[in-house]
Structure 1
Amino acid sequence: MNVEEEIQKLEEEIHRLGSLQTDGSYKVTFGVLFNDDRCANIFEALVGTLRAAKKRKIVAFDGELLLQGVHDNVVITLRPPPTQAAVAASSS
């Protein structure tokens, strides 16, 4: 699986495990992602996939490196698709 495929899978898992926000984004904590059995089976290196997605501005979270246990409560935000973000901004 290449990086783009892994990021797409990450988006699917954040949709599944996260909560939808009013702006169209999804939020989930690192601990929920890390401790999920399905994610553990999909991602060989969850932290690396998160960093690649952050670099591409698909997700946002505080810090650079997330470690299990220490950063379980760090919120990861999956940004809404550009068209959905524009609609949410115009309706505000």
Structure 2
Amino acid sequence: MQEKIQEEIEELKKDIQRLGTKNAEGKYVVKFGVLFNDEKTQQYYEQNVLDFQGQMLLKGAHDNVDIILK
């Protein structure tokens, strides 16, 4: 089970790099709406590899929130 989770985290990292851009700190950033709308990433859960402002994100209301790859 732990191996499967780790595999999914690695895939999510690749997807954030694919969909996002690097910020001033050299970390990859993608908007929540972009991540949410991508078919491949809709299945992923946040496993402490993502950072964003706030406690939770809702489709529509938070589409422009930056998702940062830690």
Q: Structure 2 length normalisation: TM-score?
A: 0.78
2:66 to 59, 75, 85: 75
Higher helix share: 1
Q: Distance in 1 between matches of 2:19 and 2:68?
A: 12
Which of the numbers 4, 8, 14 marks the counterpart of 2:6?
Answer: 4
Aligned counterpart, 1:32: 34
Q: Which has the higher strand share?
A: 2
Structure 1: tracts of 5 or more residues without a match: 80-92
- Using the TM superposition, give the Cα deviation of residue 65 of structure 1 relative to its aligned residue in structure 2, in angstroms: 1.8
Pairing 1:63–2:54 present? yes
The number of residue pairs the alignment matches comes to 68
> Structure 1 CA distance, aligned partners of 2:59 and 2:25?
28
TM-score (norm 1): 0.63
Gaps of 5+ in 2: none
Identity of paired residues, percent? 44
